[in-house]
């Protein structure tokens, strides 16, 4: 939409957009999403055609402000606190005081492994967020390495056996 909408006057299909869905609104830190939403609202005002913007996000502290910005009325804004989730969410934050990004990412893998193992012992799942695909691979390798160092045939944090996972592992390719 960022590439299509600047010449909206020449592109009738851009003028006909009546629904725009924004996922991960909480990532609005960059200018691209802000420009697209603002431009779509401007286009709608110029062609006198309503556009519905549906924005999805995690719980936000400033949901009312973002709702007003996308044109949502108070009746169209739903901000659910984490406590109403069907599965309760626990957030654990552990800081690492290392300025260099790559060194910090590497230093975080051992505490991450320890936390995952602790949660797995009581049957709790864990999700680890990393910034890039590259870090997904590096973190996964590190977690499996720590598991091997602990002399585990089947890692404690894995809820499926190697045999059950093999059909999925066979489908993995190393596309970059």
What is the residue extent of each domain of the chain? 5-84, 101-170
| Distance of alpha carbon 82 from alpha carbon 23, whole angstroms | 18
What is the number of residues in the chain? 176
pLDDT (tens digit, 0 to 9) for every residue of the chain, 176 residues total? 888 888 898 898 888 889 999 887 776 666 788 888 888 889 988 988 888 988 888 777 788 888 888 888 888 888 877 777 777 777 777 778 898 988 988 999 999 999 888 888 888 888 888 888 888 889 989 998 888 888 766 667 777 777 888 888 888 776 65
Report the top-level CATH class of 5-84: alpha beta
151: left (phi over 0), alpha (psi -120 to 50) or beta: left
| Residue 95, number of CB atoms within 10 A of its CB | 8
């Amino acid at each position: 939409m960022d590439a299509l909408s600047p010449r909206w006057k020449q592109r009738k299909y851009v003028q006909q957009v009546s629904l725009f869905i924004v996922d991960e609104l909480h990532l609005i830190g960059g200018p691209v999403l802000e420009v697209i939403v603002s431009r779509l609202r401007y286009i709608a005002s110029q062609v006198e055609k309503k556009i519905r913007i549906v924005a999805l996000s995690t719980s936000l502290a400033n949901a009312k402000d973002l709702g007003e910005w996308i044109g949502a009325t108070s009746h169209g804004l739903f901000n659910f606190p984490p406590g109403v989730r069907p599965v309760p969410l626990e957030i654990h934050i552990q800081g690492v005081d290392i300025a260099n990004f790559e060194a910090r990412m590497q230093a975080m893998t051992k505490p991450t492994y320890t936390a995952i193992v602790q949660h797995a012992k009581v049957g709790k799942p864990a999700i680890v967020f990393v910034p890039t695909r590259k870090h997904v691979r590096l973190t996964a390798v590190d977690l499996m390495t720590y598991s091997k160092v602990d002399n585990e045939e089947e890692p404690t944090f894995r809820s499926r056996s190697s045999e059950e996972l093999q059909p999925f592992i066979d489908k993995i390719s190393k596309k970059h």
